[in-house]
């Protein structure tokens, strides 16, 4: 089992040694390794059972450090990150040769961001290399929003878990590509598209998933629990049902017929930020309830962070009919 604590020196020592460390961010916990050490990065893919064609996000703590491993930062990208870094937005740029191909799955671009968490920012300030860090969970499963989630899923594969408490955003970062023409949102996430457009103007939003992703988190089936999961609107309510075996994740009010203890309300006040923060923990809770055999989930209003929530719901329920 991994050691959990707030010892930045121990986390740093493990990373320098080429080991894996779980780090807290405002979005979800990341499984981190020295991004410039291919042997260390390979441990991430092995620990997560992550396919090598799915690229990783690189984390650091300053624009100056970002400039060491990207070819250039376009003006609109600078405007965006000057407003929202540290924060839940990742930008995709042309990479320099210093970034190993393993990190970018052979692509000539790299996804980078500066996370917003004091422990991780302090850790990043004390190392001379960036960190490759996808979410700290087995590939395709629910992302972790607390140190205990990491320990339960990957504890024996991680040298140290830096405990930063519960993540305040709760869904992964928004990814914006600046590789060609108009900026394009490749993955909806913790920064709403509306806020991005307030700073850099109109952006295109990617509408399609990919089996050969150009950025992290673009696979169609992802973020899923182990149990059967369906959209409420797609569920066959006419068949014979044992309601005690049904769990639901709803936006702001419970469903009739389902026992209240089997239902998770994402936000009693219809607050989308709160709903995003609670989504992954809701999936995890119902997945761990022995009596529940099927999880039903509903979409939330498709605005602000609701777009990211609905994106995760679509991916969690993909191929789960």
Radius of gyration of the chain (CA): 19
The dihedral formed by the CA atoms of 248, 151, 99 and 171, expressed in degrees to the nearest 10: 20
Residue 145 annotated as part of some ligand binding site:
no
Residue 223 annotated as part of some ligand binding site:
yes
Pairwise CA distance, residues 225 & 232, whole Å = 16
Residue 187 annotated as part of some ligand binding site:
yes
A 10 A CB-CB count for 64 gives 8
- Angstrom CA distances, 127 to 4, 8, 11, 100, 177, stand at 20, 11, 10, 18, 27
Residue 157: helix, strand or coil by DSSP?
Answer: helix
Strands 160-162, 174-177: pairing is unpaired
Residue 27 annotated as part of some ligand binding site:
yes
Residue 78 annotated as part of some ligand binding site:
no
Residue 277 annotated as part of some ligand binding site:
no
Pairwise CA distance, residues 169 & 279, whole Å = 10
Pairwise CA distance, residues 132 & 286, whole Å = 30
Pairwise CA distance, residues 52 & 101, whole Å = 10
Residue 208 annotated as part of some ligand binding site:
no
Residue 50 annotated as part of some ligand binding site:
yes
Within 8 A by CB and 6+ apart from 134, the residues are 30, 31, 44, 48, 50, 54, 56, 57, 216
Instruction: Fill in the DSSP letter of residue 34.
Output: E
Contact 95, 68 (CB under 8 A): no
In the annotated binding site for L-threonine, the residues are 27, 113, 133, 173
In the annotated binding site for ATP, the residues are 50, 59, 135, 143, 187, 223
In the annotated binding site, the residues are 27, 50, 59, 113, 133, 135, 143, 173, 187, 223
């Amino acid at each position: 089992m991994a050691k959990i604590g707030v010892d930045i020196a121990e986390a740093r020592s493990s990373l320098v040694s080429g080991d894996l460390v779980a780090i807290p961010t405002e979005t979800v916990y990341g499984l981190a390794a020295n991004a410039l050490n291919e042997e260390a990065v390979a441990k991430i893919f092995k620990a997560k059972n992550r396919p090598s064609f799915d690229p990783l996000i690189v984390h650091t703590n300053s624009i100056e450090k970002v400039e060491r491993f990207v070819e250039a930062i376009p003006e609109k990208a600078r405007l965006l990150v000057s407003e929202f870094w540290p924060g839940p937005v990742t930008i995709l740029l042309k990479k320099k040769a210093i970034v190993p191909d393993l990190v970018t799955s052979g692509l000539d671009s790299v996804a980078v961001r500066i996370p917003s968490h004091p422990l991780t920012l302090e850790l990043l300030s004390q190392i001379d290399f960036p960190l490759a860090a996808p979410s700290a969970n087995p590939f395709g499963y629910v992302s972790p929003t607390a140190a205990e989630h990491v320990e339960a899923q990957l504890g024996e594969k991680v040298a140290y878990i830096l405990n930063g408490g519960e993540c305040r955003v709760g869904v992964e970062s928004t990814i914006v590509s600046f590789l060609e023409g108009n900026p394009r949102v490749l993955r909806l996430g913790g920064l709403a598209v509306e806020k991005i457009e307030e700073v850099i103007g109109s952006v295109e939003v990617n509408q399609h998933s990919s089996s050969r992703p150009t950025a992290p988190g673009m696979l169609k089936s992802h973020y899923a629990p182990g149990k059967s999961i369906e959209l409420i609107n797609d569920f066959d309510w006419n068949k014979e049902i044992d309601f005690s075996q049904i769990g639901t994740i709803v936006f702001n009010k419970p469903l009739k017929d389902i026992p209240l203890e089997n239902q998770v309300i994402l936000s009693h006040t219809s607050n989308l930020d709160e709903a995003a923060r609670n989504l992954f923990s809701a999936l995890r809770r119902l997945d761990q309830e022995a009596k529940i055999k099927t999880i039903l989930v509903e979409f939330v209003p498709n605005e602000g962070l609701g777009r990211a929530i609905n994106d995760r719901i679509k991916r969690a329920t993909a191929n789960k009919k």
